[in-house]
């Protein structure tokens, strides 16, 4: 087994139950707002023939302005019609489940010679994983999501319009090997193979991923709460009962691309509810809101001061220690890991 894959699959935990709850969140890849439009929103954007245009989303990654350009997948429906789909929340859940399955030694792979990574799975296995995390899907729904993931293209560009170094216009899943429909009807346990996006492969190789409470993340009811959980797992590496994490409403709106309501007040309310969900689920102990006002007292932005729960602090320290062991450098006195290179 390649040592990089072994590091990706080994978690720092005490029990098998803890291990079952853990997966990896990928630094850059999980910071790209690539699942931002709902199926309902797509209906309004489609042409009469069912086509969608390119979707362009500006966002910021660790101080750098970037743009995601997404080309939708063209899917033939059961009744024979053709429609375009951007990857949405359904596909995000499927990708997260595939990454979890890849942490099993018998299912994940890392092909160093061809610089590829991915997962070998069955539809039954994928469906059971989703069911286990509270997201029941039929085989037909799962197959549709896999086709959308393998048929959608994404490109990341910098502020000056150039493509990111080492990155090209690539499918979410560059390769998907599927069994025939007849075989599916006969045996939903037949093997499939999916290749992960190059940024996932790059992260596995460069150790720019972090273990986090995947089970808890998947239990959140809203997509925004799941996005916030991943971002906190990636960025709140210094979590302790004496430290706080601050984020602004404007930052979340820009970088998640999930606050698409017509009224600004509805967007603010949605973020407030998502943060409350993180408190209810035991990620945050408290959340203090500080309104930033302009002329005539109009709210122009909101600063949120987030306090973690002891459980989240424990998880962050375990993630820090796991990373430090991987790069063979000790954590500091506060339990913080060396900075990701």
Listed by start position, the domains of the chain span: 3-211, 220-327
pTM metric for this prediction: 0.93
Distances (CA, A) of 182 to 179, 185, 186, 310: 8, 5, 6, 51
- The least confident of 92-96, 118-122, 281-285, 336-340 is 336-340
Mean of pLDDT over the chain: 92
Short-list 320, 66, 93, CA closest to 218 = 93
pLDDT band at 161 (very low <50, low <70, confident <90, very high): low
Rounded to whole angstroms, how far apart are CA atoms 105 and 118?
12
Rounded to whole angstroms, how far apart are CA atoms 145 and 56?
21
- Checking if the pLDDT of 333 tops 70, the result is no
For the chain, give percent helix, strand, coil, nearest 5: 40, 25, 35
What's the pLDDT tens digit per position in 29-74? 999 999 999 999 999 999 888 899 999 999 999 999 999 999 999 9
Are 59 and 255 in contact by the 8 Å Cβ rule? The answer is yes
- The least confident of 161-175, 227-241, 270-284 is 161-175
- The least confident of 101-105, 117-121, 145-149, 291-295 is 291-295
| CA-based end-to-end distance of the chain | 24
- The least confident of 81-90, 161-170, 244-253, 278-287 is 161-170
Beta strands in 81-219 (DSSP E): 82-85, 108-111, 116-122, 153-158, 170-171, 175-177, 191-195, 209-213
Rounded to whole angstroms, how far apart are CA atoms 72 and 53?
8
pLDDT band at 341 (very low <50, low <70, confident <90, very high): very low
What's the pLDDT tens digit per position in 94-130? 999 999 999 998 899 999 999 999 999 999 999 999 9
Is 1.10.10.10 the CATH classification of the domain at 220-327? yes
């Amino acid at each position: 087994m390649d040592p990089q894959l072994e590091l990706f699959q080994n978690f720092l935990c005490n029990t098998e139950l803890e291990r079952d709850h853990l997966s990896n969140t990928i630094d850059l890849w999980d910071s790209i707002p690539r699942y931002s439009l709902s199926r309902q929103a797509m209906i309004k954007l489609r042409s009469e023939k069912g086509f969608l245009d390119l979707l362009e989303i500006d966002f910021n990654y660790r101080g750098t302005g970037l743009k995601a350009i997404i080309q939708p997948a063209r899917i033939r429906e059961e009744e024979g019609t053709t429609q375009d789909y951007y990857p949405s929340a359904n596909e995000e859940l499927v990708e997260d489940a595939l990454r979890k399955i890849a942490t099993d030694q018998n299912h994940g792979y890392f092909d160093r010679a061809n610089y590829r990574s991915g997962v070998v799975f069955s539809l039954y296995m994928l469906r059971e994983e989703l069911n286990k995390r509270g997201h029941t899907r039929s085989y037909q729904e799962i197959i549709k999501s896999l086709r959308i993931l393998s048929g959608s293209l994404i490109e990341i560009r910098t502020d000056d319009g150039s493509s990111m170094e080492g990155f090209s216009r690539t499918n979410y899943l560059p390769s998907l090997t599927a069994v025939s429909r007849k075989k599916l009807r006969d045996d939903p346990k037949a093997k499939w193979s999916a290749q992960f996006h190059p940024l996932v492969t790059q992260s596995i190789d460069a150790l720019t991923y972090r273990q986090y409470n995947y089970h808890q993340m998947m239990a959140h009811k809203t997509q925004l709460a799941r996005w916030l959980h991943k971002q906190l797992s990636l960025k709140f590496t210094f979590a302790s009962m004496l430290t706080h994490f601050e984020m602004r409403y404007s930052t979340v709106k820009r970088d998640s691309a999930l606050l698409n309501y017509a009224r600004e007040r509805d967007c603010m309310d949605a973020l407030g509810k998502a943060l409350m969900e993180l408190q209810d689920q035991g990620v945050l102990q408290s959340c203090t809101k500080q309104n930033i006002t302009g002329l005539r007292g109009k709210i122009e932005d909101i600063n949120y001061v987030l306090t973690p729960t002891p459980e989240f602090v424990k998880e962050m320290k375990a993630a820090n220690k796991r990373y430090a062991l991987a790069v063979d450098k000790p954590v500091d006195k506060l339990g913080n890991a060396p900075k990701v290179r």
